[in-house]
Amino acid sequence: MATVVMTSLDSKSRAASRGLSDIKIRNLFIIPTILFLIVFNIFPLIYSLGYSFTDFRASTNAPATFVGLQNYRELLNDPFIWANFAITAKYVIVSVTGQVVVGFGTAMLLNREIPYKGLITTLLLLPMMLSMAVVGLFWKLLYDPSFGIINYALGLGSFEWLANPDMALYAVAITDIWMWSPFVMLLSLAGLSAVPRHLYEAAAIDRAGPFYTFFRITLPLVAPILMIAIIFRTMEAFKTFDLAYILTSQPTTEVISIRLYKMAFQEWQTGRSCALAYIVLIMVLAITNIYVKYLNRVKER
Amino acid sequence: MAAVQTRSERALNRVAIAAVLVITLLFLAPIYWITSTAFKPRNLATTIPPTVIFEPEISPFVKLFTKRSQLRTAPEPEDYAAAPWWERLVFDGGEKVVRSGRGEVQLSGYPNRFMNSLIVAITSTVLAVGMGTFTAYGFSRFKMKGEADLLFFILSTRMLPPVVVAIPMFLMYRAVGLNDTHWGLIILYTAFNLSFSVWLMKGFIDEIPKEYEEAALVDGYTRLEAFFKIVLPEAATGIAATAVFCFITAWNEYAFALIMTNRRAQTAPPFIPSQVGSGLPDWTVIAAGTFLFLLPVAIFTFLLRNHLLRGMSFGAIRK
């Protein structure tokens, strides 16, 4: 055994003397990627940090003037921005809750001996592989008040989904639930299949009821993976832009990304939008940290 | 007692199977509906009750690909029905294809946007997977200080909301003339997919035993030779899976495409919705465009079904 290790070490150093050294290869393989990501992700952020302290407008040639923290102060005191955040929060809660209920429920059903389980799971993957913008577009057809198939199937007559300010956010959330419940389902299914069979057998011997078995065995063991699905979907829902933007233009569905887009590319308040981008960024980083913490915890298991 | 239990168990199972079937059908219904609309004659697309049985037509696709203009006088329904199919395609419901001076049929914007999508998605996928594979190998095989931090940094670049990055990128692109170019989008999508590619490929390369390369090194290969001749072939399925993932992400991206392009390099995701307009849209044509756009993704999803779960969860779940 020791000799094998010796030869392998020896040959490594010989190989190194012929070709590039391992450290050189490692640097050659890693550094370009790191540089690329810094140039196209970090540098733009630093660039926009500078603009966030100015009153710059990208639509005019006027030079940027430094205004200090004014943009941040105004944004944080703007009730309309807080309304956008509130809409975003409501959207996240409704759509993630819906996805967990539908996704986990479907996973519980599928976690039995179901014929064609593999085929069904594959078919359910399809919605989440599609483009959100294009999905938004064809749900517009489904939601149409006069000829949409949803109103016809539910017998709702000419019910307004997208033009009704109270309903529009839920309509967007329903589409999001349709798209992403399969994701929660897949992760839950992986979690459910990892629960050891003997725990259920032991519970059956103890004559435990289905509720006891679910809350004391199934749920605690699936919880970590379910948590990953929830955090992942929360982050994505927080960033939502395309789906809400394509489906409807109601003020009640103006999530923070749409507000940011309008501020930057329609009103051309570049400096102010950079400041808002930073506020959003800090929130995303906070959520990301929670996500990575849970990811590591589950991986260590 | 035991027999009763199995009977109720069996009944429960039957209910579960029925429920799963209903859920699956509900989930597939929207996709079926858009697909069937793409093959309908225009007058059947918006009927109530909805038309389920109809003779499929390809005219929505012909309309999608050609420029059309309204005729002042629509053809009489009888003349129209009597016309051969190729004339019906040219001359459909009071619309006529636009021809250039030399009589060539003029193409609509769609084929061009579809090509742009292909160019941008394929090129950025090759770049992201290429760089990602090298980097993943570097991380997988060599120890270094702060490796976990670097990997986290790489992952964090994907967590940023697209709109946040898009504002400074727009300004930078405008300064260097990359707005509305293929390369502008390719670079963005490569940067976006690179983190994902590194994480996914690291998972695949970690699973290839180190002994394979060590044996090659003993046989006198250099590190690089061992990488190209031993590791790459072993990682081929992982590379293919990662590539399809990156392709689908780049193919579907909307926000950057909307902000960074307007005509020359515009891809299909911002283009198809822009065709809806405010009047009475021809939903059969929009459905045809959507159907063609979804087709590659549907095929890849089917081919890649076994790798999808792992990719979606960044390797959080190890089967």
Residue identified by tokens 């997977």 is B129
pLDDT computed for residue B68 by the predictor:
81
User: Mind spelling out the 3-state secondary structure of chain B?
Assistant: CHHHHHHHHHHHHHHHHHHHHHHHHHHHHHHHHHHHHCCCCHHHHCCCCCCCCCCCCCHHHHHHHECEEECCCCCCHHHHHHCCHHHHHHEECCEEECECCCCCECECHHHHHHHHHHHHHHHHHHHHHHHHHHHHHHHHHCCCCCHHHHHHHHHHCCCCCHHHHHHHHHHHHHHHCCCCCHHHHHHHHHHHHHHHHHHHHHHHHHCCCHHHHHHHHHCCCCHHHHHHHHHHHHCHHHHHHHHHHHHHHHHHCCHHHHHHCCCCCCCHHHHHHHCCCCCCCCHHHHHHHHHHHHHHHHHHHHHCHHHHHHHHCCCCCCC
My answer on whether B127 and B245 are in the same domain is: yes
| B90 and B118 housed in the same domain | no
Phi-psi region of B315 (alpha: psi -120 to 50; beta: other; left: phi over 0): left
- Average pLDDT rounded to a whole number, residues A239-264: 93
CB contacts < 8 Å between A and B, how many? 288
The mean pLDDT of B275-289, rounded to a whole number, is 83
Q: What is the pLDDT of residues B81-113, one digit of tens each?
A: 677 777 766 676 667 788 888 878 888 889 999
Residues in chain B closer than 8 A to A191 (CB atoms): 317
pLDDT of residue A15: 46
Instruction: Identify the residue with better confidence: B5 or A174.
Output: A174
- Give percent above pLDDT 90 in chain B: 47
Q: Are residues B86 and B231 in the same domain?
A: no
Q: Give the tens place of pLDDT for each residue, B127-156.
A: 999 999 999 999 999 888 888 888 888 887
- How many structural domains comprise chain B? 2
Region B282-298 average pLDDT: 92
On whether the CB atoms of residues B24 and A120 are closer than 8 A, the answer is yes
Q: Are residues B102 and B187 in the same domain?
A: no
Same domain, B83 and B213: no
Determine contact: A36 vs chain B, CB below 8 A.
yes
> Is pLDDT at A114 greater than 50 in this prediction?
yes
Residue B92: inside a domain, yes or no? yes
Say yes or no: B277 and B297 in one domain: yes
Residues from chain B that touch A99, judged by Cβ atoms under 8 A, are none
Domain that holds residue B162: 110-314
**Which B positions 86-115 lie with beta carbon below 8 A of chain A?**
none
pLDDT band at A158 (very low <50, low <70, confident <90, very high): confident
B chain contacts of residue A136, beta-carbon cutoff 8 Å: 273
Angle, CA B279 vertex, CA B275 and CA B284 arms, to 5°? 55
Question: Out of A170-179, A226-235, B171-180, which region has the weakest mean confidence (pLDDT)?
Answer: A226-235
Tell me whether residue B48 is in a domain. Answer: no
Q: How far is B255 from chain A (nearest CA, A)?
A: 7
The predicted structure's pLDDT at residue A93: 96
CA distance A140 to A150: 10
Contacts B174 to A, Cβ<8 Å? 58
State pLDDT tens for residues A71-108. 999 999 999 999 999 999 999 999 999 999 999 999 99
pLDDT per residue as tens digits for the range B12-49? 888 999 999 999 999 999 999 999 999 988 888 888 78
Does B159 map to a domain?
Answer: yes
Query: Which of B76, B106, B136 finishes a domain?
Result: B106
Sheet order of strands, B68-70 included: B68-70, B95-97, B91-92
Residues 6+ apart with CB under 8 A from A76: A279
Does residue B17 lie in a domain region? no
Residue A301 is predicted with a pLDDT of 59
Each residue's pLDDT tens digit, B48-74: 788 888 888 888 898 889 888 776 666
Residues B119 and B72 reside in one and the same domain: no
Per-residue confidence (pLDDT) for residue A80, from 0 to 100: 94
Please check whether residues B124 and B86 belong to one and the same domain: no
Domain C-terminal end among B51, B79, B106: B106
pLDDT digits (tens, 9 = 90+) for B294-318: 999 999 888 888 777 666 655 444 4
Identify whether B58 is part of a domain.
Answer: no
User: Both B195 and B157 in a single domain?
Assistant: yes
Report the C-alpha gap between B105 and B111 in whole angstroms. Answer: 13
Does B231 lie in the same domain as B91? no
Residues in chain A: 301
| B112-116: average pLDDT | 95
Examine the domain organization and report whether B296 and B207 are in the same domain. yes
In angstroms, the separation between the Cα of residue A166 and the nearest Cα of chain B is 22
pLDDT at A2: 42
**Among B75, B106, B137, residue at a domain's last position:** B106
- In this prediction, residue B151 carries a pLDDT of 87
Q: Mind giving me the DSSP string for A72-130?
A: HHHHHT-HHHHHHHHHHHHHHHHHHHHHHHHHHHHHHHHSS--TTHHHHHHHHHGGGGS
Q: What share of chain A in percent tops pLDDT 90?
A: 50
User: Which pair of tokens denotes residue A128?
Assistant: 């989440």
B16 occurs within a structural domain: no
Burial of A2 (0-12, 13-18, 19+ CB in 10 A): exposed
Chain A partners within 8 Å of B286 (Cβ):
137, 141
Which of the four pLDDT bands, split at 50, 70 and 90, describes residue A41? confident
pLDDT tens column, B211-233? 998 899 899 898 889 999 999 99
pLDDT value at residue B10: 84
pLDDT of residue B72: 60
Nearest CA in chain A to B157: A41
Assess whether pLDDT exceeds 90 at residue A31. yes
Residue B182 in contact with residue B122, Cβ under 8 Å?
Answer: no
- pTM here is 0.88
Q: What is the pLDDT of residue B319?
A: 39
Q: Is residue B4 part of a domain?
A: no
pLDDT at A259: 95
Query: Does the residue B57 lie in any domain?
Result: no
The tokens for A171 are 């309509």
Give the CATH number, domain containing residue B151. 1.10.3720.10
Between A18, A58, A120, which is nearest B24 by CB? A120
Q: Please check whether residue B190 touches A, CB under 8 A.
A: yes
Q: What is the ipTM of this complex?
A: 0.86
- The model's pLDDT over B152-193, given as tens digits with 9 standing for 90+, comes to 888 878 778 888 889 999 999 999 999 999 999 999 999 999
What whole-number distance in Å separates Cα of residue A218 and Cα of residue A195?
7
Give yes or no: residues B245 and B286 share one domain.
yes
- Once rounded to an integer, what is the mean pLDDT over residues A183-194? 88
Q: Tell whether B25 lies on the interface with A, counting CB pairs under 8 A.
A: no
